[in-house]
Chain A
Amino acid sequence: MTALRDILREHDAELVAAAAPAQRSAARALRQVRRALGADDVVDDDAADDGALLSAVTAARLRRALRRVAAAAGVTPTWAEWEAIDDALDGPRLQAADADAADADADAAADADPIDASAELARLRVLMRAVIEQVPLAVAIVEAPSGRRLIANERNVAILGRLAPEAAAGIDGYGVYEGFRDDGTRLGARDWPVARSLISGEVVNGEVVELRRGDGTTVFIRISASPIKDDAGQTVAAISIFEDVTAERHLQDGVRFLAEASQLLGSSLDYEQTLKTLATLAVPRLGDWCAVEMLRPDGTSEQLAVAHIDPTKVELAVALRDRWPPDPAAARGMPHVLRTGAAELWPEVTDEMLVEGASDAEHLAHSRALGLRSAMVVPIVVNARVLGALTIVAAESGRRYTPADLLLVQEVAARAGLAVENAALYRTTQDAVRMREDFLAVASHELKTPLTALHLQVARLQGQAKKGPVVVDAERLERLDRQVGRLMRLVEQLLDVSRLTAGKLALDVGDVDLRELAAAAIGRVDAGSDGGVHGGGREGVDEGTGITLTSSGPAVGRWDKGRLEQVLANLIGNATKYGAGKPIDVDVSGDNDVVRLTVTDRGIGIPLADHERIFHRFERAVSASNFGGIGLGLWIVQQIVAAHRGTVSVKSIPGEGASFMVALPRRPSEVSG
């Protein structure tokens, strides 16, 4: 087959003659063309050719002559050959445009051809070259019908990672690039937009393809392609223009993720399950890894969720964490975020970081194997309180996180924080409602019993009064009074609860002698009046209860007398109620700062597990059916003692009794806190 370079060689003289009068320049230029096309077997003196000056007119004449002889020989120069020809003819002239000017003038005078058009074309070509290189897009032009690459600007390399030689040769080589559609299917060689433009003349407008590059990183590219046609409508080439839309794509993914996460976080009050789902949702949209760490009430933390597309990697991560738990004092990373509440962005996870974070060589090896590249750790915060941390890590995707990514994850974490808070509030509310219901049930039960007795007493008296004069003896009156007294105390307790709950306990402080107060409280029990707060079980069990009062040191302080009487009545009442009828000791001992009241019984005692609980509202260590009372006594004691800046505690061995200790500062107003 006759090639262009053969024609050049054979018709050299004719071509040179056509370029008259600038024949010397033309001859040199033609040598360069031949060399560019690989047709020159003669090695010329490069220096001589370097300075070849060729006017636009001469260059145009040479192009016309070339086209003519090639057409005569039945040869159509390829796009690439024209490129090479243009390079050879235009290059020298561009370098020495001024020197060429005189030559050009001479050409213009000697030749009547419409040379200005050619000069314009050459200028346009230079312009096009400049535009192609300067435009912030990857531009590639391929030849029809082969798909051989003609032009590819620098940005191709930046986006594609490399210019694959296989792809340069033609359409069938395009498959070397690993492109994927949104649905995850891979593009075949002929599926690439520029191939479709070549083959079917399709104009492709902004198709997004996920490209996995040779180094394992992924970019999203948006490609437009269209055929280039000659005057006859024949496709002579196709152009492909594409850009890296990875950041845009990530932003879109992020916004979509944020929307989904918001919906998810608002959908359930089971926040643990919700956060687990959130982690799954974040992968692979936000990163290759997502982990949720939550703080426990004791300040330690636990990994609530860890997600990766590959379940075996999740297992590995969990195993690694078990073996090398994170150092709570670490200077950066998740523990640091939990401590400080400050978000961290690591655009590049360096090997130094892995070394720093590793406990030993084996740990380091495992860390390196995970291939972590970039990371974000953001706190899950509500009202400046850190609840946990959300960690997003890029590994195999090669993604690098930016401040914009960090903002997005912070937004998600803020919503997660609200979800956790909502769930906690809901639980608290539910607990409170349940507790209130329990309280109302017990309270109504306790109120109804004396009310029933009272009601029936009155009804009986009314019945008797209808028949004749009624004799009301002292015993009956005392019984009526006792029932009214029970009701009054219960109502008083309920009011105390509401006052204490609202934080409205105002202390009426004066000089109070706790020893005297204790003696008086014991006196009330001994006198047989119902000094305790307990409801039933008065007869029998209480008989023979001996209460001993001991004291030492000063016992006077600045306290609320009425409230401390309540404390004594509650504690002594409980001791009587739960004391199994055995002796009770009350001790008051003071020093310069504190007076301690201890009430000890020898009754059923309180299991250790209940020691804290019994101070809660509506709680009792024993079931409600076994003892009367509404479970408020100790809570009220604690509230009153706390209002005096004191403390109350319990020691007990089940079966051997219980000892309640109240420590009151003698001058509460001088105690800080």
Chain B
Amino acid sequence: MTDHPHTVLIVDDDEDIRDILREVLTDEGFSVEMARDGQEGLDRLRSGVFCLVLLDLMMPRKDGWAFRAEQQLDPLIRDVPVVVITASGAARLELLGGIKAVLHKPMSYDAILTTVRAHC
């Protein structure tokens, strides 16, 4: 648990993606927490203070859409900005509500840093 104002929550079911994002962001001085699916992501989000959520969409148990739906209903975590990371096209992005940005895989190193810096 951390109250660091520059903590990013990474929600992705793919270990390799989680690891490299953690490394990239830690290198740049951000603090990082990780979750393997939407449910774990919500649990983490509720128990900490985050400047941004990097959210994958296709995940087991609870996917990105379900994560967003539940997040928007919870006033305590509703305002945490969310950037979606997806390998899909524009599939059902409109159902995600007011997300800040979409990063399409494979995104560049700089794109990640620029996006995260804009919010943290």
Chain A residues in the interface with B (C-beta under 8 A): 441, 444-446, 448-453, 455-457, 459-460, 463, 479, 482-483, 535-539, 624-628
Q: Could you tell me if A450 and B16 are in contact, using CB atoms closer than 8 angstroms?
A: yes
Q: Could you tell me if B109 and A539 are in contact, using CB atoms closer than 8 angstroms?
A: no
In the complex, whether B20 has a CB less than 8 A from a CB of chain A is yes
Q: Could you tell me if B88 and A445 are in contact, using CB atoms closer than 8 angstroms?
A: yes
Q: Mark B72-106, 1 if CB is under 8 A from A, else 0.
A: 00000000000000011101000000000000011
With a CB–CB cut-off of 8 A, which chain B residues contact A450?
A: 16
Chain B residues in the interface with A (C-beta under 8 A): 13-17, 19-21, 23-24, 27, 57-61, 63, 87-89, 91, 105-109, 112
With a CB–CB cut-off of 8 A, which chain B residues contact A479?
A: 16, 19
A483 and B14 alpha carbons, distance in the complex (Å): 11
List 11 A-B residue pairs with CB atoms under 8 Å apart, sorted by A's residue number. A441-B89, A445-B58, A448-B105, A449-B105, A452-B20, A452-B106, A452-B107, A456-B112, A463-B109, A537-B60, A626-B61
Give the residue of A456, A459, A463, A626 whose beta carbon is less than 8 angstroms from that of B60: A626
A452 and B17 alpha carbons, distance in the complex (Å): 7
**Least Cβ–Cβ distance between A604 and chain B, in angstroms:** 11
Give how many A-B residue pairs fall within 8 Å (CB-CB): 72
**Least Cβ–Cβ distance between B65 and chain A, in angstroms:** 9
A539 and B15 alpha carbons, distance in the complex (Å): 8
Q: Assuming the A-B contacts A453-B14, A456-B20, A538-B15, are A627 and B108 also in contact, with contact meaning beta carbons closer than 8 angstroms in the complex?
A: no
- Overall SS of chain A's interface: helix
With a CB–CB cut-off of 8 A, which chain B residues contact A463?
A: 27, 109
With a CB–CB cut-off of 8 A, which chain A residues contact B60?
A: 536-537, 625-627
With a CB–CB cut-off of 8 A, which chain A residues contact B23?
A: 460
Give the residue of B61, B63, B89, B109 whose beta carbon is less than 8 angstroms from that of A456: B109
Q: Could you tell me if B61 and A460 are in contact, using CB atoms closer than 8 angstroms?
A: no
Give the residue of B15, B59, B87, B108 whose beta carbon is less than 8 angstroms from that of A459: B108
With a CB–CB cut-off of 8 A, which chain B residues contact A448?
A: 87, 105-106
A433 and B30 alpha carbons, distance in the complex (Å): 45
Identify the closest chain B residue to A624 (Cβ).
B58
A15 and B23 alpha carbons, distance in the complex (Å): 142
Q: Could you tell me if B16 and A459 are in contact, using CB atoms closer than 8 angstroms?
A: no
Identify the closest chain A residue to B16 (Cβ).
A453
With a CB–CB cut-off of 8 A, which chain A residues contact B21?
A: 456
With a CB–CB cut-off of 8 A, which chain B residues contact A536?
A: 13-15, 60
**Least Cβ–Cβ distance between A603 and chain B, in angstroms:** 13
A537 and B63 alpha carbons, distance in the complex (Å): 14
Interface centre among B21, B27, B60 (most CB of A within 10 A): B60
A452 and B14 alpha carbons, distance in the complex (Å): 11
A449 and B21 alpha carbons, distance in the complex (Å): 12
With a CB–CB cut-off of 8 A, which chain A residues contact B14?
A: 449, 453, 535-536, 628
Q: Could you tell me if A451 and B105 are in contact, using CB atoms closer than 8 angstroms?
A: yes
With a CB–CB cut-off of 8 A, which chain A residues contact B105?
A: 448-449, 451-452
Q: Could you tell me if A449 and B63 are in contact, using CB atoms closer than 8 angstroms?
A: no
With a CB–CB cut-off of 8 A, which chain B residues contact A451?
A: 105-106
Identify the closest chain A residue to B23 (Cβ).
A460
Q: Could you tell me if B27 and A449 are in contact, using CB atoms closer than 8 angstroms?
A: no
Q: A446-B87, A536-B14, A625-B57 are in contact. List 12 more A-B contacts (CB 8 A).
A: A445-B88, A449-B16, A449-B87, A452-B17, A452-B20, A453-B17, A455-B108, A457-B20, A463-B109, A535-B14, A537-B13, A625-B63
